[in-house]
A and B are shown apart, each in its own frame.
Chain A
Amino acid sequence: MAAGLRSILYPISIYNLPSGSKYIPLRREGQYGASTEQKRYTALIDEAGGYLMIKTLHVENFRCYESLDLHGLKRINVIVGKNASGKTALLESIFLAAGGSPELAMRLRVFRGMGRQTLISADRMSFESVLRDLFFSLDQTKKIVLRIMGSDENTASLQISYSDQNVLTLPLEMKNGTSVAGIYPLDFKWKDHAGKETKGSIRFGGDKGFEVDQIIDTVRCAFFSPGADTPPQEHATRFSDLSVRDKLEPFLKAVIDEFSFIKGLSLEIVGGITMIHASLHGISGKLPLGSVSSGVMKFLYLLLAIATYGKGVILVDEIENGFYYDRLPQLWSRLSSFCQENECQLFVTTHSLECLNAMLDTVEKNQDQFSLIRTTRDNQNRIGASVFSGKALTSLIRQGLDPRG
């Protein structure tokens, strides 16, 4: 390792921040805890005066988007578009705006396949290079602005920019040539519907690595990314949460209806880690979900997230991955009904025509619940996106036309 460089391990779990992280107390300190996640969210949602379902989205200076406004978003939003046309960036913008921690920005690096470790040195350029790609055209002099507006006209917005106040954090062991002057924190400012601001930042923490403020989630949001390696205990926590709230029954019924070879699901501890296990017909004992099938596991985790994050937002990048083609129509049907029952909103990307065609029956019956978002890159390499109705999506599929454009 080169002199003056530090290897820093990024967190992947919101519950497992690195030692360099700093927690800002929640507004109702002591009321919330990881095991009572639901209470925490419910309180915040109630405080916000109703749930925030995203009807419109404003993106400015984020990733490939210089400026974008999307209107007419629905309960299930299907995002299509060519490679490098901004599909994942769209999900990420929602993830950051609807989330509530600067740490989410660090997670995006992992989702994007950049690994959990990075090497930085104690200088401004090195620090700023880590999250430079969040900014449109890599121009970090402009603010990132993300704004969502949902039901009841509730809004949440996020501004990301480098602080105008230089906070110096001196490493414990200063070496010759080490300079931390001029390393400005990356500030995240969320604003709720009442105009109340919540701030957090990512700072250079000297030997400790990055200091990341852990704040709150203003909207319930989960991101399923092919690059994400969500720890099984996170899904187990959701499972447990449903069980505690006596809301496991519809979830279990949906799973068993869908996969008749599954007898039941339970939480078991293996190697000290709690994870969901399945008991199967014809097999004694219980298997971890991952050992049953990656498709089954993904399906269950999706339903689980929808059931847990009721009135929230679930983001799924490349939803078709892991599913056998004949499972897809039922997948859409189940996702649609689950989202409606739980008032949850879904944003999914797909490249698969098979996956889109499989949704015909479901979208025909629920046209007002769907939207089609098509991302585009024009001949001047400007990225944009357009929203089309569920009726348009139905028409395209029914006429054998390609919804991907």
Chain B
Amino acid sequence: MDNICPKKKIAFKSSRIILCEGEQDKAFFTHLVESRHLPQFDVFCPSRPYTDDGAVEGYDDMLTAFTTGDGFQNITGILVQGDNDDKPQQRFNRIAKKIAAAEGYIRPQNRLQVVRADNRPPLIVMMFPWEEELGALETLCLISAEAANPTIKQCMDIYFDCARIGTWSLVKQHKMRLRCMIASICKTDPYTSLVHAWSRAESLIPLDHQCFRQIADFLQNFDQFILEH
């Protein structure tokens, strides 16, 4: 059937939605929920357009498109995820603006604020790595991967000095370091993407690391958080 109709559909299997930036974030959430036995979420990310501003550009489209999904009336909450990168406030504002542009939604003023609009499920924005900290998903993944591979990390630190990446932005450094780490520990495919990092035989980025605890706890208590706020 996929060969006949390869289009993606909006279909809800659970009552909670995560809208994240890209396929890597989607893979992360999916595997985090599974590995930690968290409540089920349907995870989506915009498919296009990929512009200079990233996939966040498609947030308004996705939030609007959700309203057409079968079972949308049963959705109890939407978690919108973004990366702080090197400009947390700017990144949050950009996402808030896209949410306001979606049909029927209201612009959130703060991170982790429950926003309620008529005929729409409650919506919360969560920024990675957390609140206003600089970084992205790769920041967290790097912490976990380095902790699991301390010997390689020591060698890499020397390489990073040689490569003189110290002048790069923090997030770009994290992305470069994570790419090198994955390449060095993934024997079956050193070039593998973060999207497939948790589908491989090798344990590249352990999801039980402490650095993911805040996110996992939030997902665990998502329903309660909405009720209390």
Contact = CB atoms under 8 A, between A and B. Distances in A.
- The prevalent SS among residues of A at the interface is mixed
A376 interface: yes
Interface in A383-405: 386, 388-389, 391-392, 394-396, 398-403, 405
A37 B47 CA distance: 51
Given A392-B103, A399-B47, A399-B62, A374 B7 contact: no
B65 A395 contact: yes
B68 A400 contact: no
A372 B103 contact: no
B103 A389 contact: yes
Interface residues of A, number: 19
Interface residues of B, number: 19
Nearest to B10: A401
A398 B49 CA distance: 8
A399 B48 contact: yes
A398 B48 contact: yes
A174 interface: no
Given A395-B62, A395-B65, A400 B48 contact: yes
A392 B60 CA distance: 10
Interface string B20-57: 00000000000000000000000000111100000000
Nearest to B61: A395
B68 A388 contact: yes
A399 B8 CA distance: 9
Contact of A392 (B46, B58, B68, B70): B68
A353 interface: yes
Contacts of B62: 395, 399
A388 B104 CA distance: 12
Nearest to A372: B68
A378 to B, nearest CB: 9
Interface string B194-221: 0000000000000000000000000000
B76 interface: no
A399 B58 contact: yes
A401 B65 contact: yes
Contacts of A396: 10, 61, 65, 68
B7 A391 contact: no
A384 to B, nearest CB: 11
B28 to A, nearest CB: 20
Contacts of A394: 61
B47 to A, nearest CB: 5
7 contacts: A395-B65, A396-B61, A398-B49, A398-B58, A400-B7, A401-B65, A402-B5
Given A392-B64, A401-B65, A402-B9, 19 more contacts: A353-B5, A353-B7, A388-B68, A396-B10, A396-B61, A396-B65, A398-B61, A399-B8, A399-B46, A399-B47, A400-B8, A400-B48, A401-B9, A401-B10, A402-B5, A402-B7, A402-B8, A403-B68, A405-B70
